[in-house]
Structure 1
């Protein structure tokens, strides 16, 4: 166990607690720091605060950093749909149902297990449980994901994600019929104040912006293309639910009664574009809609408006 202390000065007053710690503890991810805060391992003036607590001058912060858990992540010969690979990056079309990295008792069958078998080297910035993982998509979301094969590539890609310069386009099937051809959902997100498993639109949450465009309208559903300006956890799922058009099949934010028997939300990461860490050239990769998506759309074709 490690004990870390900070005292807030004039230059950092009014900054969110998690933002401040992310800058001071650059070897730790913001998600890791937020987990420490939620677990009560961070105190301000001896009191537990939330991630969005605004710091004041002379606030005394104390962080208890637990010893890292000893994990034995085994390489597994799991087939990968590789869209592109070189010495710096590997771009994967992740199938629905695959967890990106080991966590919460899931230590086998993840994308990381498959990557460890396929790749000799992966970046080590995110530790042994998440080697190479720069960003994630949900277990039941399919589509394009980039993985870093060295620390240089990881830092370069992570900066692009931080600056929101990554081009990320998703295809989603929403409940109900959207009236507007296109629109923007600008609503801040954070942990749900009561149900901590969920993400919710929260007044003092992190800025989150989703741009959407209607592709097809059906009798009771709408096929939309969503472009992320920011990339928050569950962003599209929560934003679409926020405007009363949750995603079909979403077990957390969707309708309790579902028309189709699905494994999860109808959400597919169609396109991912970024500047290559070494060549500095813009590259983008696309993954066509998977079978589970096409099956439902074929049924809905009879209900086109």
Structure 2
């Protein structure tokens, strides 16, 4: 059953192509938006339109959206390498390995943190959507490091609020190509879905406010190791912002990294690791902080660079 949406075009999208406007308004890929238009599922001011037509602010859109795919329900399954760093009545802090998502999503067939914890007999909060039990923040599948999961319903509410209000210290280390100039700085640039509609994100005017602070830890001949602190938590934020600076994370081919350098360092994913996470403990209000060591593949890449310097 389709979901018929009727609403005006926001003034901020004045002059945009119709397919781009629909993608932005409904969180679709550009390709999917174009398919809806060509299939006759979109009208502008009551008339059919072409995907390349430019929209005007205030024009009336009617879009027949297909039903959203149902999210998979977590099924307990063991996740090798998923280590528990800390556990108490309210929280579980884990060290997430590579190739693991935070929770099940449509189209993902690999392991997830939620399913791994359930398989190991841990209790997690049941607040929120069924597939996101206990999840208050996420790391990309190929980003490793420290994550907190809520066990109690109180912890879920308090941690969600803390992430929303930006009172959580989220620290990452990343290896980037070249040498950022200045060596320490802030990227304050809005992020939204990439216009290509291919699952990537990009710095886009009118996107969601996003702020990333970075500081160089060590400069190698071909790359720099950075300490990164996030004020916001947008999808792919570090990867997008550093790519926008023309210093993509080493190994991050989706955002313009050099595959030759990644191969030389033995990397099969982006060099990005969540090294620390600090927040007020929801059970007592005291500040807690957890850290994670580099996994072997990231450590090996640094060893190779150090030997070359």
TM-score range, shorter chain: 0.7 to 0.9
Q: 1:68 to 1:192 in 2, by over 3 A?
A: closer
* Greater C-alpha radius of gyration: 2
| 1:275 matches 2:275 | no
**TM alignment of 1:156-195, pairs within 5 A:** 156-195=158-197
Match of 2:111 in 1: 109
Match of 1:19 in 2: none
| 1:292 matches 2:292 | no
| 1:266 matches 2:267 | no
Using the TM superposition, give the Cα deviation of residue 46 of structure 1 relative to its aligned residue in structure 2, in angstroms: 8.0
Q: Given the alignment, which residue of 133, 142, 145 partners 1:143?
A: 145
In 2, distance between residues paired with 1:131 and 1:284? 22
Conservation of the 8 A alpha-carbon contact between 1:270 and 1:287: yes
What per-residue deviation string (whole Å, max 9, x for no partner) do you get for residues 141-167 of structure 1?
110111111332112111111111110
Using the TM superposition, give the Cα deviation of residue 127 of structure 1 relative to its aligned residue in structure 2, in angstroms: 2.1
Q: Given the alignment, which residue of 198, 215, 235 partners 1:213?
A: 215
Q: Given the alignment, which residue of 95, 98, 120 partners 1:96?
A: 98
Using the TM superposition, give the Cα deviation of residue 68 of structure 1 relative to its aligned residue in structure 2, in angstroms: 7.2
Q: Given the alignment, which residue of 298, 303, 307 partners 1:302?
A: 307
Name the SS of the counterpart of 1:302 in structure 2. Answer: helix
In 1, distance between residues paired with 2:85 and 2:109? 25
Using the TM superposition, give the Cα deviation of residue 111 of structure 1 relative to its aligned residue in structure 2, in angstroms: 1.6
| 1:222 matches 2:224 | yes
Q: 1:37 to 1:106 in 2, by over 3 A?
A: closer
Q: 1:71 to 1:242 in 2, by over 3 A?
A: closer
Runs of 4+ residues deviating >6 angstroms = 1-8, 13-16, 43-48, 59-65
What per-residue deviation string (whole Å, max 9, x for no partner) do you get for residues 156-189 of structure 1?
1111111111100100000012232311111110
Name the SS of the counterpart of 1:210 in structure 2. Answer: strand
Using the TM superposition, give the Cα deviation of residue 72 of structure 1 relative to its aligned residue in structure 2, in angstroms: 4.7
TM-score under structure 2 length normalisation:
0.77
Conservation of the 8 A alpha-carbon contact between 2:71 and 2:105: no
Count of matched residue pairs: 280
Using the TM superposition, give the Cα deviation of residue 285 of structure 1 relative to its aligned residue in structure 2, in angstroms: 0.3
Match of 1:69 in 2: 70
Q: 1:64 to 1:86 in 2, by over 3 A?
A: farther
Which segments of 5 or more consecutive residues in structure 1 lack a partner in the other structure? 17-33
In 2, distance between residues paired with 1:120 and 1:223? 35
**TM alignment of 1:221-240, pairs within 5 A:** 221-240=223-242
Match of 1:22 in 2: none
Which segments of 5 or more consecutive residues in structure 2 lack a partner in the other structure? 14-23, 37-41, 50-54
Name the SS of the counterpart of 1:252 in structure 2. Answer: helix
In 2, distance between residues paired with 1:88 and 1:247? 34
Conservation of the 8 A alpha-carbon contact between 1:93 and 1:145: yes
Q: 1:4 to 1:194 in 2, by over 3 A?
A: closer
Conservation of the 8 A alpha-carbon contact between 1:132 and 1:154: yes
Using the TM superposition, give the Cα deviation of residue 274 of structure 1 relative to its aligned residue in structure 2, in angstroms: 1.0
TM-score under structure 1 length normalisation:
0.78
Name the SS of the counterpart of 2:260 in structure 1. Answer: coil
Match of 2:16 in 1: none
Q: 1:234 to 1:106 in 2, by over 3 A?
A: same
Q: 1:167 to 1:2 in 2, by over 3 A?
A: farther
Conservation of the 8 A alpha-carbon contact between 2:84 and 2:94: yes
What per-residue deviation string (whole Å, max 9, x for no partner) do you get for residues 109-157 of structure 1?
2222201112453223332222111111111111011111133211211
